Amino acid sequence: MKSLPKRSEVTLEETWNLKDLYESEEDFNNALIELENEVNRFEEKFKGNIINPETIIDALQQYSAVYERLVPSGTYASLSLSTDQTNTEAQMRASKFGSISAKINSKLSFVNSELLELPTEVLELAIENCPPFQNYLQKLLIKKQYQLHPEVEKTLAALSSTFSAPYKLYDTTKMIDIAFDNFEVNGKSYPLSYVSFENDWESESNTELRRAAFEAFSSKLKEYQHTTAKTYDMHLQMEKTTADLRGYNSIFDSLLLNQEVDRTLYDRQIDLIMTELAPHMRKYAKLLQKVHGLDKMTFADLKISLDPSYEPKISIEESKKYIIDALGVMGKDYLEMVERSYKERWIDFAQNAGKSTGAFCSSPYGNHPYILISWSSRMNEVFVLAHELGHAGHFYHANSEQNIFNARPSTYFIEAPSTMNEMLVANHLLENSNDPKFKRWVISSIVARTYYHNFVTHLLEAAYQRKVYERIDEGLPVNANILNEFKRSVLEEFWGDDVEISEGAELTWMRQPHYYMGLYPYTYSAGLTISTQVSKRILNEGQVAVDEWIDVLKAGGTKSPVDLAKMAGVDITTEQPLRDTIAYIGSLIDELVQLTDEIER
């Protein structure tokens, strides 16, 4: 395994084309200057003048136009940094945008303040007279009780860059300061990095190499645990102070308000999975141990493939055929988007030093989506890419149907379209082969990639995160020792005596940026609960279910998560969809056990 190349050394065709946002640095800088001028003109025209339904509608129309111009600048600054965090020019560009954005948000903060100072009946008239802004105004009314004095709102908006500083500091520590040393096994040296560990070493079939990589990776993380914990505590204390200032009863209430769900749905997702999914996943862990002939099952062994010799290598071009075949059911428009994503370089496939880990999709309003992934030619990454194309397909439809304020749904729902695509890929692969080894590989991919990743990894993050927020709500700080203890206790509770929680496993809280995104981790399992049920409908009902799902994607953020799920035929106000999904995962693991017995016979 080689060390990662520099960004300047990777193939152009494997990188995304940011020129679709701005042709040059000069265009980016000019856009920022024009944007600031436009904001000044907007402030001059509307500040103190939003007084009746007519001026509300006029102001919101121009307000949305300003935000449409802000989006590409922020996207360009963010994406250019994510592909190489060591690039000084990209660092400066992102900092420059952060400062300008904070200034702009501060100047625009008067809009919501003035709207909420108006009598409710005036806002209700505006809601009645202007359907495109109904959603925006209704959500604003819900937040009315938590709105602060206009000058305070202006100050908080001006400090937005400061509030996002802990996340930036976390990323800087993770991607720039932490330099992994090579590790040795039997006198041979092997390179290590964040990307190589998460893409390769964590699933390495050689147990000695895998466990040595885990130990080396964890040892290096440990050196930075106190800085990372202090950074995270800063973020948490800012969230707590803001929630208190606004008059929320707890941080949970503050963060769940934007998700448009109550505490019941949040707690249910964590509690049911912690208790009812755990026995199924322990059975899966024991199966891995048996098949690989391991002396014991440790945390460092949980990401290995059930049959590593079977997983095919796959090129970027081959991945396209698999995805198009699997997503064919979604229709012509959807497939056109997938074709364009490859052809027009919406996807950054390259592996290079300084690139953000994992995968994500950014979907700037008024432009096409961008997907980041580090392609290592494993078939497993077809599922990852399908997942990100699910986000892309969601916003490709929502952005074209809705205005900028209506396009984005609650984060509770955000992972449903992405995990849906993973289910469609799995269903397609299963339909096209009766070979027991291939069938076992596909089912183990669903369990290990789709469900383990979304229903276990992210859910255990959520269970840990809940403990952290409960402590912060009591007015207490956190440090590395407390965070390690919380993480280890969650892992031990879930895996019981069936998996030895290796030393260093408690440090996995250092690896995820999700903790800087509010109550995000639990939404993966929430989205997958919905998509599991809808994918079953598509298998059983065909086009009717597909058409309803496309309508859900187009609806964007115009409905609550409960109503969006209902549009797709799933009632998440009850426990049933979650219990059905847990039972389905259990049935997949039972099938893996049976297939393994059959293959071994």
Q: Average pLDDT, stretch 128-143?
A: 92
Lowest mean pLDDT among 230-244, 382-396, 423-437: 423-437
Under the banding of pLDDT at 50, 70 and 90, the label for residue 256 is very high
Q: Average pLDDT, stretch 141-151?
A: 90
Query: What are the E-state strand segments in 238-359?
Result: 347-348
| CA–CA dist 539, 214 (Å, integer) | 40
Instruction: Check if the beta carbon of residue 413 is closer than 8 Å to that of residue 530.
Output: yes
Tens-place pLDDT, residues 348-369: 999 998 998 889 999 999 999 9
Q: Average pLDDT, stretch 283-292?
A: 96
Under the banding of pLDDT at 50, 70 and 90, the label for residue 317 is very high
Q: What percentage of the chain reaches a pLDDT higher than 90?
A: 83
Instruction: Check if the beta carbon of residue 170 is closer than 8 Å to that of residue 513.
Output: yes
Q: What is the pLDDT of residue 454?
A: 82
| CA–CA dist 398, 550 (Å, integer) | 10
Q: What is the pLDDT of residue 434?
A: 81
Q: What is the pLDDT of residue 4?
A: 85
Under the banding of pLDDT at 50, 70 and 90, the label for residue 63 is very high
Q: Average pLDDT, stretch 579-599?
A: 94
Q: Average pLDDT, stretch 518-534?
A: 92
DSSP string, 520-582: -HHHHHHHHHHHHHHHHHHHHHTHHHHHHHHHHHHHTTSS-HHHHHHHTT--TTSSHHHHHHH
Give Cα 588 distance to the centre of its chain.
25
Single-letter amino acid, residue 53: P
Would you give the DSSP letter of residue 313? Answer: B
Q: Is the per-residue pLDDT at 512 higher than 90?
A: no
| CA–CA dist 579, 556 (Å, integer) | 27
Tens-place pLDDT, residues 203-230: 999 999 999 999 999 999 999 999 999 9
What is the side-by-side strand order in the sheet with 347-348? 347-348, 370-372, 360-362
Instruction: Dig out the tokens for 433 from the structure.
Output: 């082969």
Q: Average pLDDT, stretch 195-209?
A: 90
Q: What is the pLDDT of residue 589?
A: 96
Instruction: Dig out the tokens for 320 from the structure.
Output: 């396209």
Query: First and final CA of the chain: distance in angstroms?
Result: 35
| CA–CA dist 197, 217 (Å, integer) | 8
In angstroms, what is the C-alpha Rg of the chain? 24
Sorted by sequence, the CB contacts under 8 Å of residue 46 that are 6+ apart come out as 55, 58, 59, 62, 110, 111
CA distance readout (Å), 527 to 372, 387, 390, 458, 491: 21, 12, 12, 12, 22
Q: Is the per-residue pLDDT at 410 higher than 90?
A: yes
Would you give the DSSP letter of residue 362? Answer: E
Query: What are the E-state strand segments in 355-511?
Result: 360-362, 370-372
Q: Is the per-residue pLDDT at 2 higher than 80?
A: no
Instruction: Dig out the tokens for 30 from the structure.
Output: 């000019």
Of 161 and 57, the structure prediction assigns the larger pLDDT to: 57
CA distance readout (Å), 407 to 273, 385, 388, 396, 433: 30, 22, 17, 10, 39
Q: Is the per-residue pLDDT at 1 higher than 60?
A: no
Q: Average pLDDT, stretch 14-24?
A: 97
Residue given tokens 């964040």 in the structure block = 194
CA distance readout (Å), 564 to 263, 357, 391, 412, 555: 18, 31, 16, 11, 8
Lowest mean pLDDT among 63-77, 217-231, 369-383, 493-507: 369-383
Torsion over CA: 520, 521, 524, 525 (sign) = negative
Q: What value does the mean pLDDT of the chain take?
A: 93
pTM: 0.89
Tens-place pLDDT, residues 424-464: 998 898 888 788 888 898 899 889 888 888 889 999 999 99
Q: What is the pLDDT of residue 374?
A: 93
- Kindly list the structural domains of the chain, giving each domain's residue range(s) and its CATH number in brackets, ordered by start: 7-154 (1.20.140.70), 179-223 (1.10.287), 247-343+378-600 (1.10.1370.20)
